[in-house]
């Protein structure tokens, strides 16, 4: 059997699925196959489909892919988010502060110099909207490279298709001068 080849949970034969199986229903085999499937999908399983690796290597995570190198804050739906390796993109904490946040969620507060705190203070002044940075030499009604890059960053995180997300990431990197 090849990786990714369809296998029936009822009879165990390749080439079709449970809905199109012509053999009598074998509920015990179906339940066992379903349990194996769920186990493989668990985060950290180390198996294809689990978050620890395997599969295609593509994972969207909560609100999109993990941050690019050097990216500390990402605006999602016009709100600043920090990356937590456990939770994904959050509005409350980052990876280094996850344990403190988890121990006391009701009273946890990030320090004033944390990039998320700074971004949250900045977004409150603009009514929750992220203003694109002003770029010298940008005509009054034109778009700056930073604004175009921000647009592709938003497309990257909102894309439901991995191909679209990858294309948006490439365009974002291009407009940021990384390519």
- Predicted confidence (pLDDT) per residue in 61-71, tens digit: 555 667 777 77
What local confidence, expressed as pLDDT, does residue 28 receive? 92
Token pair 């700056």: residue: 144
The mean pLDDT value for 155-167 works out to 83
Query: In the predicted model, what is the mean pLDDT of residues 35-54?
Result: 64
- Residue 105 and residue 142 in one domain: no
Residues 75 and 126 in one domain: yes
Q: Are 71 and 115 in a shared domain?
A: yes
Instruction: Mark whether 76 and 123 lie in a shared domain.
Output: yes
Confidence of residue 51 (pLDDT cuts 50, 70, 90): very low
The better pLDDT of the pair 62, 157 is held by: 157
Query: 153 vs 136, which has greater pLDDT?
Result: 153
Instruction: Tell me the mean pLDDT in the region 107-129.
Output: 77
Q: Which of 45, 39, 41, 37 is nearest to 18 (CA)?
A: 37
Regarding whether 137 and 127 lie in a shared domain, the answer is: no
Tens of pLDDT, residues 93-108: 988 899 988 898 888 8
Last residue of a domain, one of 38, 57, 76: 57
> Which pLDDT score, from 0 to 100, does residue 53 have?
46
Note whether 127 and 83 are same-domain residues: yes
* 73-111 burial code (b ≥16 CB/10 A, e <16): bbbbeeebbbbbeebbbbebbbeebbeebeeeeeeeebe
Structural tokens at position 54: 């395997």
The pLDDT value given to residue 7 = 86
Rounded (5°) CA angle 135-141-147: 45
d(CA 169, CA 165): 6
- Domain range for residue 35? 1-57
């Amino acid at each position: 059997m090849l990786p990714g080849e369809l296998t029936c949970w009822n009879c165990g034969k390749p080439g079709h699925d449970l809905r199109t199986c012509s053999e009598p229903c074998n509920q015990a085999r179906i339940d066992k196959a379903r349990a194996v499937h769920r186990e493989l999908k668990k985060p950290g399983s180390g198996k294809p489909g689990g978050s620890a690796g395997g599969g295609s290597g593509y994972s969207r995570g909560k609100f999109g892919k993990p941050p690019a190198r050097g990216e500390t804050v990402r605006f999602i739906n016009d709100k600043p988010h920090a990356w937590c390796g456990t939770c994904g993109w959050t509005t409350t904490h980052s990876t280094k502060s996850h344990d403190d946040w988890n121990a006391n969620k009701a009273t946890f507060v990030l320090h004033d110099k944390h990039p998320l705190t700074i971004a949250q203070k900045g977004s409150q002044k603009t009514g929750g909207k992220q203003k694109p940075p002003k770029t010298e030499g940008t005509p009054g009604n034109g778009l700056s490279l930073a604004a175009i890059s921000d647009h592709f960053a938003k497309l990257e995180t909102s894309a439901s298709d991995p191909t679209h997300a990858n294309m948006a990431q490439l365009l974002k990197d291009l407009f940021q001068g990384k390519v």
